[in-house]
Structure 1
Amino acid sequence: MRIYRYDTVFVLDALDDFTTVDDVVWAREREIARVHQLIIQAYYDVGYRPIFVPVDSAPARVDFILARISAPPATSHT
């Protein structure tokens, strides 16, 4: 992490929200949410400030991300 760093970190908000406690998937969703939070915390711990991508359609999420990515510097071919 000291040598190689990402320019930007994006975190996609979860698409599904399981709220039925009796559902087996709900228990798994809680585990997934916990791991997701740990990953986010790890990014903060090493100095990143993630950009959170809201729930939306796939094309809208792509547009959201592309609007926040810096274009790489142009290289001259002289």
Structure 2
Amino acid sequence: MLSVRQVKAARALLAWSQSDLAKASGVSEPTIARLESVDALIGGRAETGMKLRTALEAAGVIFIEENGEGPGVRLKRTK
């Protein structure tokens, strides 16, 4: 599961705007804005969440699943 907070945090780590994420994912900017307007799990179609996750992971984000401390994100180590 992917949360809105994780997406926002991932964008912040990458210094990406909603527009940048839209270009990278193929999801429209208004859709991203709508999804990010609530503090919940990413809603809408499952494929939309996968497109967002795939684009962010391709840019170097690692999604950390719930492990007792809560879900999160971090960047991959650069070589």
Length-normalised TM-score, structure 1: 0.31
For CA contacts below 8 A with separation 6 or more, give which structure has more relative contact order.
Answer: 1
Q: Which is higher, the Rg of structure 1 or of structure 2? A: 1
Length-normalised TM-score, structure 2: 0.31
